[in-house]
Amino acid sequence: MEERQIIQQTADHVRSLLSGEGTGHDWFHIERVRHTALAMAREEAADLFVVELAALLHDVADWKFAGGDHEAGPRQARQWLQALNVSPATIDHVASIIASLSFKGAGVPTLMATLEGQCVQDADRLDALGAIGIARAFAYGGQKGQGLYDPDHPPTPHDSFEAYKKGSSSTINHFYEKLLLLQDRMNTATGKRLAAARHQVMQWYLEQFFAEWKGTR
Ligand code: ADP
Ligand code: NI
């Protein structure tokens, strides 16, 4: 099968799985990540086929929704690509990108070995920042039944993936436990530039949030 057909079939498969998903991991998230990751990959001269497949498949079985199973994401991507007769080297590369993509806590490094993985990781992280990032965080928090903000529970800088997985006590805490840390973890030049701008949007938002909480603005 031609690369173009493999991409098309994969996109159709993922769209049918994630359309209407309610935590900000829906098909539109995938489309934004796909688009941003490809733009970065062109700039960085990365392998576009690997980047597009990894972007499309990266959230198909995220551990957050697969009962905490970290192997489910890479495993399902592997099975899907094997059924389409994609080369073993490409399958290994895509599965390893998906396995190392996620943020795992403030004190846990998340190194991405290849340029292709770095593009997908930056694109995924950019979608957790800025105006869309704020919207996604509250959508996720709402679906998990977590409060907006709780002044009695300060944020925790998680130093293990186990601790991070237990989740935030509030969505505002998630800003301090993850979102505001992402700008310093970007891989590509474009990623760094866009992350800095989106970071400022979130800082402005938090300032306004706390001012409104106190009733001063
Ligand atoms: P990652 O690959 O790093 O897990 P995803 O692309 O799967 O990132 O999506 C993470 C999204 O879910 C982000 O927009 C993030 O804000 C949101 N999210 C994850 N955990 C929480 C949480 N505890 N509270 C609020 N939002 C969360
Ligand atoms: Ni994602």
pLDDT digits 0-9 by tens, 97-126: 999 998 888 888 888 999 999 999 999 999
C-alpha 86 – ligand 1 centre gap (Å): 30
The three-state secondary structure class of 84 is coil
**Quick one: which of 63, 73, 53, 64 has its CA closest to 3?**
53
> Residues within 5 Å of ion ligand 2 by Cβ?
59, 124
Q: Is the pLDDT of residue 202 over 70?
A: yes
Report whether pLDDT(63) > 70: no
Measured in Å, residue 83 CA sits from the centre of ligand 2 at: 23
Kindly report whether the global pTM for this prediction surpasses the value 0.85. Answer: yes
- pLDDT tens-digit readout, 167-182: 778 999 999 999 999 9
> Identity (one letter) of the amino acid at 194?
L
Compute how many other C-beta atoms are within 10 angstroms of the C-beta atom of residue 98: 27
Hey, what amino acid is at 145? Answer: G
Say which amino acid occupies 167: G
31 close to ligand 1 (CB < 6 Angstrom): no
* Cα–Cα distance for residue pair 215/211, rounded to 1 Å: 6
Q: Which atom of ligand 1 is the closest one to the Cα of 179?
A: 16
Instruction: Indicate if the pLDDT at residue 184 is higher than 70.
Output: yes
Name the least confident of 47-51, 91-95, 160-164: 160-164
Q: pLDDT at position 68, please?
A: 66
Lowest average pLDDT, out of 1-15, 57-71, 170-184, goes to 57-71
Q: What percent of the chain stands above pLDDT 70?
A: 97
* Token pair belonging to 13: 């498969």
Tell whether ligand 1 has an atom less than 6 A from the beta carbon of residue 164. Answer: no
Does position 142 have pLDDT exceeding 80, yes or no? yes
Q: For the chain, what is the total number of helices (H) and then of strands (E)?
A: 10, 0
Q: What is the mean pLDDT of residues 152-160?
A: 87
**Average of per-residue pLDDT values in the chain:** 93
**pLDDT for residue 64:** 61
Residue 79 has pLDDT above 80, yes or no: yes
**pLDDT at residue 208 in the model:** 98
